[in-house]
Structure 1
Amino acid sequence: MIELHYWPTPNGHKITLFLEEAGVPYTIKPVNIGKGEQFEPAFLKIAPNNRMPAIVDTAPADGGAAISVFESGAILHYLAEKTGHFLPTDLRERTTVMEWLFWQVGGLGPMLGQNHHFNRYAPEKIPYAIDRYVRETQRLYGVLNKRLEGRDFIVGRDYTIADMAAYPWTVSHEDQGIQLADFPHLKGWFERIRDRPATKRAYAIGDTVKDKRDARTDEEARRHLFGR
């Protein structure tokens, strides 16, 4: 059984996308980041960087004690190795998946996160920062759009953890100043993933968790999320 410590953010959605696609039994342990639950000692034992998601695998493949994993990219890789799903065995395809997984966690996620922050959450509008991160967002969308030319998914015909990592960060494209029509190959990829039954289930789970637990004020959330 996988225990998923989760909140419905792009990084959280990555893991429910995988679990729903693979049909892995799991339970959700909500971590309301707007209320500061990511700083609770019990959570920090499995996620020392005080960020979710994190998982606990109570039945690891080696038959030993439970294993905890933090960092969304590491979790996707762990789950793919555990289940044998969404990570090719072919050396070259597997290497490509890992390249694009690292591209997402090292570039797409952090840059789009800064775009979200300065456009939506920062207490004052800083034109230089907004322009900087919108331009970088456009560049990264262009990189992915070029990669997807002639391909259904990032590696080729098959859906992999590279796609699961990138997709949730593109869901808020309009808030990021992006029109998908400007990136036609990416747009087709986005729609293929959006329309998958497992994607719909994953996002429905997120809506349920947030509706039940999102009791906080905006100022309280800012304090917990941004150290204000």
Structure 2
Amino acid sequence: MAAAIHSNSAAEASKGPQQPLTLYTTQTPNGIKISIALEELEIPYKVFKHDFVARTQKEPWYLAINPNGRIPAITDTFSDGSQIHLWESGSILKYLVEQYDKDFKLWYPAGTRENYELFSWLFFQIGGLGPMQGQMTHFNRHVTEKIPYAIERYSNETRRLYSVLEKQLATSQSGFILSKFTIVDICFWSMVAASGWAGVSLAEFPEIHRWYEKVLSRPSVAKGMNVPEPHPIQVLMDDKTGQKAKEFEEYSRSWVMTGMAKDAEGLKKRDPAC
């Protein structure tokens, strides 16, 4: 398995061409997509953990890497010997398989029917389930004044998208979303791992639940999901007292809402770091 070397030094993280590859991340569904893929492909990498409370993802050195000021992002030494910056989880995954997965462990040969199908599902997760479940989580967990319309809209749409995945898995011969385990499974699994926190019950989706456990049994997934720190969701959902969930909800609400306010303030000033 790949060796993840943790770093919190902005100076080190923003140096010139680096070996090994550096992953800028924190513990989120989008972040663990990349660490899981790196573990699957056994690519050595360093980890820079962003602090969303301190808004390190908005610092100038990082905006030079990812102009959007979000995670994940990577820096790597490209084939021409110069440093390359990649951001957005789908773009990073595409880069990793094209550059490192010459045996097609997590994808299919370019131009094949299977590979076109793979990218349809990949874009469906990134443009569909990811944003919808994110909004479901936001209105269920972060907004103190409940907005019934928003909760109903995003909950229903998220569950509809889960139903699309459920149907696909019900007809799968491999037990995975496509004919084998791919980056598509990594993307969807990373979101489903947070389904309970969003408010989705996997009891409603037995095929997804079965697939979820199958993917979780992979050593690379069990390792990559805990980068840069232990995955919190299952612990929170297993806490019968609800105290840990309450504390995590208050913590996440704090940095999310503070970040939104800072971004709004930056927009008024036309600040690119917003």
Aligned to 1:155: 178
Unaligned residue ranges in structure 2 (runs of 5+): 1-19, 233-247, 263-274
Q: Structure 1 residues 217 and 195, CA, compared in 2 at 3 Å: closer, same or farther?
A: closer
Separation in 1 of the partners of 2:251 and 2:133?
24
Asked if the contact 1:109–1:169 (Cα under 8 Å) also holds between the matched residues in 2, the reply is yes
Q: State the Cα deviation string for residues 116-154 of structure 1 (Å, max 9, x = none).
A: 100000131101101111101110000001111132111
Asked if the contact 2:29–2:194 (Cα under 8 Å) also holds between the matched residues in 1, the reply is no
Aligned to 1:87: 107
Separation in 2 of the partners of 1:178 and 1:208?
21
Asked if the contact 1:116–1:175 (Cα under 8 Å) also holds between the matched residues in 2, the reply is yes
Aligned to 2:166: 145
Aligned to 2:65: 46
Deviation at 1:223, TM superposition (A): 4.3
Q: Structure 1 residues 47 and 136, CA, compared in 2 at 3 Å: closer, same or farther?
A: same
Which among 106, 128, 132 is matched to residue 107 of structure 1?
128
Asked if the contact 1:33–1:224 (Cα under 8 Å) also holds between the matched residues in 2, the reply is no
RMSD: 2.1
Q: Which has the higher contact order (CA 8 A, sep 6+)?
A: 1
Q: Structure 1 residues 134 and 18, CA, compared in 2 at 3 Å: closer, same or farther?
A: same
Asked if the contact 1:36–1:224 (Cα under 8 Å) also holds between the matched residues in 2, the reply is no
The residue type paired with residue 166 of structure 1 is F
Deviation at 1:204, TM superposition (A): 2.8
Aligned to 2:268: none
| TM-score scaled by length of structure 2 | 0.75
* 2:189 partner SS: helix
Unaligned residue ranges in structure 1 (runs of 5+): none
Deviation at 1:177, TM superposition (A): 2.6
Q: Structure 1 residues 218 and 55, CA, compared in 2 at 3 Å: closer, same or farther?
A: closer
The residue type paired with residue 41 of structure 2 is A
Separation in 2 of the partners of 1:119 and 1:165?
22
Q: State the Cα deviation string for residues 192-221 of structure 1 (Å, max 9, x = none).
A: 1112111111123332599xxx9x966751
Separation in 2 of the partners of 1:47 and 1:53?
9
* 1:47 partner SS: coil
Greater CA deviation, 121-130 or 171-180? Answer: 171-180
Separation in 2 of the partners of 1:219 and 1:155?
36
Q: Structure 1 residues 44 and 192, CA, compared in 2 at 3 Å: closer, same or farther?
A: same
Separation in 2 of the partners of 1:105 and 1:225?
22
Percent of matched pairs sharing the same residue = 38
Q: Radius of gyration: which is bigger?
A: 2
Asked if the contact 1:137–1:176 (Cα under 8 Å) also holds between the matched residues in 2, the reply is no
Separation in 2 of the partners of 1:93 and 1:163?
14
Separation in 2 of the partners of 1:224 and 1:209?
23
Aligned to 1:122: 143
Q: Structure 1 residues 113 and 82, CA, compared in 2 at 3 Å: closer, same or farther?
A: same
Aligned to 2:221: 199
Separation in 2 of the partners of 1:34 and 1:20?
27
Which among 134, 144, 153 is matched to residue 155 of structure 2?
134
Q: Structure 1 residues 219 and 92, CA, compared in 2 at 3 Å: closer, same or farther?
A: closer
Separation in 2 of the partners of 1:188 and 1:208?
23
Which among 235, 259, 264 is matched to residue 225 of structure 1?
259
* 1:14 partner SS: helix
Asked if the contact 2:75–2:86 (Cα under 8 Å) also holds between the matched residues in 1, the reply is yes
Aligned to 2:198: 176
Aligned to 1:2: 21
